[in-house]
Chains A and B, each alone.
Chain A
Amino acid sequence: MLCQNCNVNPATVFVHRVINGQEREFHLCNQCAKQLEMQISFEDLFHGFLDTFLSNDQKQLYGQPNDLIRKKVCPKCGFTSDDFKNVGKLGCDQCYKTFREDLIPILRNIQAGTRHTGKVPGKSLLEISYQNRIAKLQNDLHKAIDNEEYEQAAKLRDEIKKIKEEHNG
């Protein structure tokens, strides 16, 4: 889902506001949510002094200050931090990244650590080794160019191209 404000970035924050006594919800990207939060903290600071500076459209859209609740929403499955709190389960694999900050303290409590130290599936092993190989060759390529060893650089470039082609199959 795209951000309802900029319509460009994926919505990752779920904003809940009470406007004229009615509850409204907005799906925003991180950037727009931050802008909104800054605006509102200014409003809090000056107790409405800056109210006159907020455009009527903004007031209409975001309602009055002091009623903003910031919620995260998973861009892949739409699961919100409230869903996670209520169900105690996650909606998809992306949720682990979206709710990472909420998860870490929970994992610290219930697990022996917050980092996996066990088995890695075969496919991921291949992927990790592919990425490491490419990173090393690209590093060598930059060094060769810096040292003006153009013949070596051409060989490395061809090798990178070949490995990428094989990988993408």
Chain B
Amino acid sequence: MDKWFDDSQLDFSIFITSRIRLARNITQYPFSVILQPQQMQDILNKTIDTVKLLSNDFMFVNANDVSDIELLSNFELHNISQYFLQNKNPRGFFINKDESVCVMINEEDHIRIQSICSGANIFKTFSLANDIDDIFSQKIDYAFDNEFGFLTSCPTNVGTGLRASFMLHLPMLEKSAQLKNLVQIISKFGMTVRGLHGEGTEPMGSIYQISNQITLGKSEEDIIKNLQNVAHQIIEQELKLRETILQKNRLDFEDKIFRSFGTLTNCKKINTHEAMNLLSDVRLGYGMGFDIPKFKCNVYKIMMNIQPGLLQKNFGRRLDEKERDIARAEYIKKML
């Protein structure tokens, strides 16, 4: 079955993914800050029973039953968060077959429903998560209040419990000084910019996540529409910069992109950071219509597969840093 990231047209879009997260809690249990391990286990059992009753589409993964590489791979695929990856509490996640919907149990909130689609499909992505939310709410009493909406562990998520985000590829904005100004401006619209893996992570491969910060006082639809407006304005700036460089200095620019492709496909070893930057150059080249040979899959899929967790998982064994750099270079060559 094709996964959400098997999108052959993805290389030509600045939008890499559209993502939704809904934060929910169960009214009968305290929130995560004071939740005891036995209560976490109870919540896991309760949600497993609920999902069994309601849907056959989901597989359950108990986080304490799988290897650290397996968990890291799921983090790199955006199925689980950094918080979920790092703690050792009883916790698990449900994931559907094309991996477009994943529900984390015992993250910062009891239930975190997430959906992801390639490209600019934010409303479709929202309906995926929203449907699962409706199913859960038939069997689970959510912590909900008429005044404050869905009640969450942290008041920054209360209300809709919604975090909508776009992952954008912004290499030209990153190189210009404009990105910093843009970050400041969009924060005034209740939005924020983060790195590849969200909160507290560094940007890699010129990939940025923009998402809403406001969750209360606006409806889900308004939050998503605001995000779309802001994203389109950012993309307009990126496209303008791409056009300017073509007019001013096409040859030097094209030369740099093709050299990046050359290094990427001929090197014998390469670290994640360098590979991400070179892949970003190649992706930019595709987006600008340069005649660069295509890989067997889209560049973003390669970007995920060269991360340490997925690289080791696909290689079939644990690798040290040096071995990973060699395996990464071999993998990229194989994808030509």
Are A and B genuine complex partners? yes
- A residues in contact (CB < 8 Å) with B: 76-79, 83, 87-93, 95-97, 103, 106-107, 110-124, 128
- Of the residues B34, B134, B143, B159, contact of A93 by C-beta under 8 Å: B143
Specify the chain B residue showing the minimal Cβ separation from A74: B30
Chain B residues with Cβ under 8 A from A110's Cβ? 155-156, 213-214
Closest 5 CB pairs of A and B: A113-B217, A116-B149, A112-B217, A93-B143, A111-B216
Specify the chain B residue showing the minimal Cβ separation from A78: B34
Are B160 and A119 in contact (CB-based, < 8 A)?
A: yes
Chain B residues with Cβ under 8 A from A95's Cβ? 31
Specify the chain B residue showing the minimal Cβ separation from A128: B146
A150 to B131, CA, bound (A): 47
- B residues in contact (CB < 8 Å) with A: 25, 27, 29-34, 130, 133-134, 137-138, 141-151, 153-156, 158-160, 162, 190, 213-220
Are A115 and B151 in contact (CB-based, < 8 A)?
A: no
Are B146 and A118 in contact (CB-based, < 8 A)?
A: no
Are A113 and B138 in contact (CB-based, < 8 A)?
A: no
Are B218 and A112 in contact (CB-based, < 8 A)?
A: yes
**CB-CB under 8 A for A77 and B30, given A107-B155, A120-B144, A122-B134:** yes
Are B33 and A87 in contact (CB-based, < 8 A)?
A: yes
**CB-CB under 8 A for A103 and B155, given A112-B214, A118-B149, A123-B141:** yes
Smallest beta-carbon distance A67→chain B, Å: 28
Are B34 and A117 in contact (CB-based, < 8 A)?
A: no
A155 to B144, CA, bound (A): 34
Are B145 and A93 in contact (CB-based, < 8 A)?
A: yes
Specify the chain A residue showing the minimal Cβ separation from B130: A119
Are B217 and A92 in contact (CB-based, < 8 A)?
A: no
Are B156 and A117 in contact (CB-based, < 8 A)?
A: no
A110 to B155, CA, bound (A): 9
Chain A residues with Cβ under 8 A from B190's Cβ? 112
A112 to B217, CA, bound (A): 5
Specify the chain B residue showing the minimal Cβ separation from A92: B30
Specify the chain A residue showing the minimal Cβ separation from B141: A123
A128 to B145, CA, bound (A): 11
Smallest beta-carbon distance A141→chain B, Å: 25
Q: A88-B154, A89-B33 are in contact. List 13 more A-B contacts (CB 8 A).
A: A79-B34, A91-B31, A103-B155, A110-B155, A111-B159, A111-B214, A111-B216, A112-B217, A113-B217, A116-B145, A118-B149, A118-B220, A119-B133
Chain B residues with Cβ under 8 A from A107's Cβ? 155, 158, 216
Chain A residues with Cβ under 8 A from B158's Cβ? 96, 107, 111, 116
Are B217 and A117 in contact (CB-based, < 8 A)?
A: yes
Are B33 and A118 in contact (CB-based, < 8 A)?
A: no
Smallest beta-carbon distance B160→chain A, Å: 4
Could you list some 10 contacts between A and B, CB below 8 A? A89-B154, A92-B29, A111-B214, A115-B147, A116-B158, A116-B160, A116-B217, A118-B159, A121-B137, A121-B150
A111 to B190, CA, bound (A): 8
Chain B residues with Cβ under 8 A from A96's Cβ? 145, 148, 151, 158
Specify the chain B residue showing the minimal Cβ separation from A79: B34
A5 to B138, CA, bound (A): 42
Chain A residues with Cβ under 8 A from B154's Cβ? 88-90
- Of the residues A87, A91, A124, contact of B144 by C-beta under 8 Å: A124
Chain B residues with Cβ under 8 A from A106's Cβ? 155
**CB-CB under 8 A for A114 and B216, given A89-B33, A89-B153, A106-B155:** yes
